């Protein structure tokens, strides 16, 4: 059987014509220093030759385990230029986790770095990529260009695949959003480039739209604000709600006259955060809703629709039994035949939502599995969580259902009184909705993408480790 051709659904020169073309002297990336398009093209040429020397070509498979870096960008584009199917592995995975992913995905080539990546708070690394041919690797069995693993915030990661045409469709959606970064503007990217927001909404859109992309040297409030203050182009900051919380709490931020907005996605924004951010910086905190399976689905970039969002161009949505479903001609799960995830041309998001029949706007309410029964009464864990995070004493919270009871894991503001939290809940929630247990942690565990971890076992282990100190 001949190997699949992952890029058969896209123009053969889509990397060079759509992502790398343009004025050679124009800055396109900034990883500690500016990189223009001519320099990036030269780096991609170099990595194309190196990957081809390993035998990688059209229909081949490669896995990338590289930190955010110029090397990551060059290797990714080079592998796609060769017509290979690329799987992205987060560089923060342990060797054991990488071995398990490699056994699962069977790439022909694994690209890692010659030395350790930078410290945790560094935004990027300066690494030398090393490509190794794997003896048990297999060619692509599907026509997908990109393979990603879901964040795993609620359980084991899923293998999700997208075609080159699907990536180009998403880039066209971003192009049609008048408030999303375009030519002559600048992006400060905080989201991981191995996950969909950072990869497509950040990196690929910046190259496609001719917007200069900056990754801060340090992922601290000061480091992010310094990156946003650089240059004279209009700037948009892209991240997850955690980053917005970080910036909203910054002490004496510098003037940012070029800042247009911040855009976040990945999880629900807690009540009050948007107003706090706008009060601090005078610009909107925009939000997006999307999935690894589809990319961006709906947006509220101006903050004027909150909590609703407007579907992007061409996105078809419907509700079935309160669950939001997205039109998808084929399943994004290679090798997985699960009608509870995809069936009859519709992707099951497992998110509860409301659809406005007049405007088409969608309001995501939270996960369907967040609705539980307590003594025969329905409780929405998202409502409990949002009530907690709206309390002044609570910095962040996760609410889970375990062993027939509601449990809450909290990180409080400095000096906050836990009794005030309990009192606030007593006044705002009926008794049957209140968590049986409030576990206090200095900070809540997060996934590699910055999402709050929602696995009850992991949360309980973190709470146990905190009390044992």
Give the CATH number, domain containing residue 440. 3.30.300.30
Q: Residue 96 falls within a domain, yes or no? A: yes
In a domain, 46, yes or no: yes
Asked whether residue 25 is domain-assigned, the answer is yes
Q: Tell me if 72 is assigned to some domain.
A: yes
In this structure, what CATH number is given to the domain that contains residue 126? 3.40.50.980
Of 162, 187, 204, the one marking the end of a domain is 162
Is position 266 within any domain?
Answer: no
Owning domain of residue 22: 1-162
pLDDT at 205: 98
Nearest CA-CA partner of 169 in 198, 208, 195, 203: 208
Domain's final residue, options 131, 162, 193: 162
User: Which pLDDT belongs to residue 153?
Assistant: 45
Size (the chain), residues:
469
**pLDDT value, residue 151:** 56
- Is 22 part of any domain? yes
In a domain, 85, yes or no: yes
User: Is residue 210 included in any domain, yes or no?
Assistant: no
pLDDT score, position 155 = 47
pLDDT tens digits, the chain, 469 residues: what are they? Answer: 456 788 988 888 999 999 999 998 999 999 999 999 999 999 999 999 999 999 999 999 999 999 999 999 999 999 999 999 999 998 888 888 889 899 999 999 999 998 766 666 789 999 999 999 999 999 999 999 999 987 554 445 689 999 999 999 999 999 999 999 999 999 999 999 998 999 999 999 999 999 999 999 999 999 999 999 999 999 999 999 989 999 999 988 999 999 999 999 988 888 889 999 999 999 999 999 999 999 999 999 999 998 999 999 999 999 999 999 999 999 999 877 778 899 999 999 999 999 999 999 999 988 887 878 787 677 889 889 989 999 999 999 999 998 888 999 999 998 899 999 999 999 999 888 999 999 999 999 987 667 888 889 999 999 988 886 6
pLDDT of residue 55: 97
> 146, 162, 178: which is the final residue of a domain?
162
Q: How far is the CA of 274 from the CAs of 283, 305, 401, 426, in angstroms?
A: 10, 12, 28, 26
Domain count, the chain: 2
Whole-prediction pTM: 0.85
254 within 8 A of 229, measured Cβ to Cβ: yes
């Amino acid at each position: 059987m001949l190997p699949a051709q992952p890029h058969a659904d896209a123009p053969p020169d889509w990397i060079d014509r759509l992502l790398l073309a343009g004025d050679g002297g124009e800055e396109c990336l900034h990883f500690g220093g500016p990189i223009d398009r001519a320099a990036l093209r030269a780096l991609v040429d170099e990595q194309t030759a190196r990957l081809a020397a390993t035998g990688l070509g059209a229909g081949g498979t490669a896995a990338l385990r590289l930190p955010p870096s110029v090397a990551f960008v060059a290797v990714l584009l080079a592998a796609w230029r060769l017509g290979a199917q690329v799987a992205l592995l987060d560089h923060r995975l342990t060797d054991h986790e990488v071995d398990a992913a490699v056994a699962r995905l069977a790439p022909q080539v694994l690209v890692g770095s010659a030395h350790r990546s930078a410290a945790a708070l560094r935004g990027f690394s300066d690494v030398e990529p090393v490509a190794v041919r794997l003896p048990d690797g297999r060619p692509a069995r599907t026509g997908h260009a990109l393979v990603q693993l879901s964040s795993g915030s609620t359980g084991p990661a899923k293998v999700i695949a997208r075609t080159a045409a699907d990536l180009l469709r998403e880039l066209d959606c971003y192009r049609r959003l008048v408030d999303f970064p375009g030519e002559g503007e600048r992006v400060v990217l905080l989201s991981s480039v191995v996950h969909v927001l950072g990869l497509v909404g950040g990196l690929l859109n910046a190259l496609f739209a001719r917007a200069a992309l900056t990754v801060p040297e340090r992922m601290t409030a000061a480091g992010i604000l310094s990156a946003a203050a650089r240059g004279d182009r209009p700037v948009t900051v892209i991240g997850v709600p955690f980053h917005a919380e970080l910036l909203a709490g910054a002490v004496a931020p510098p003037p940012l006259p070029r800042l247009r907005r911040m855009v976040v996605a990945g999880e629900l924004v807690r009540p009050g955060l948007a107003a706090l951010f706008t009060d601090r910086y005078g610009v909107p905190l925009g939000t997006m809703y999307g999935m690894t399976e589809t990319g961006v689905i709906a947006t509220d970039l101006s903050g004027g629709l909150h909590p609703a969002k407007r579907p992007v161009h061409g996105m078809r949505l419907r509700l079935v039994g309160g669950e939001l479903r997205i039109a998808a001609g084929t399943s994004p799960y290679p090798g997985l035949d699960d009608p509870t995830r995809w069936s009859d041309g519709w992707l099951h998001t497992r998110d509860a939502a409301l659809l406005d029949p007049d405007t088409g706007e969608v309001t995501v309410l939270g996960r369907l599995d967040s609705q539980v029964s307590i003594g025969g009464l329905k409780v929405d864990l998202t409502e409990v969580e949002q009530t907690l995070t709206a309390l002044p004493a609570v910095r962040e919270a996760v609410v889970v259902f375990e062993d027939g009871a509601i449990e809450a894991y909290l990180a409080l503001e400095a000096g906050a009184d836990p009794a005030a939290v309990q009192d606030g809940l007593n006044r705002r929630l009926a008794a049957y909705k209140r968590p049986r247990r409030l576990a206090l942690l200095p900070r809540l565990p997060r996934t590699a993408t910055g999402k709050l971890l929602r696995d009850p076992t992991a949360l309980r282990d973190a709470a146990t480790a905190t009390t044992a100190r």
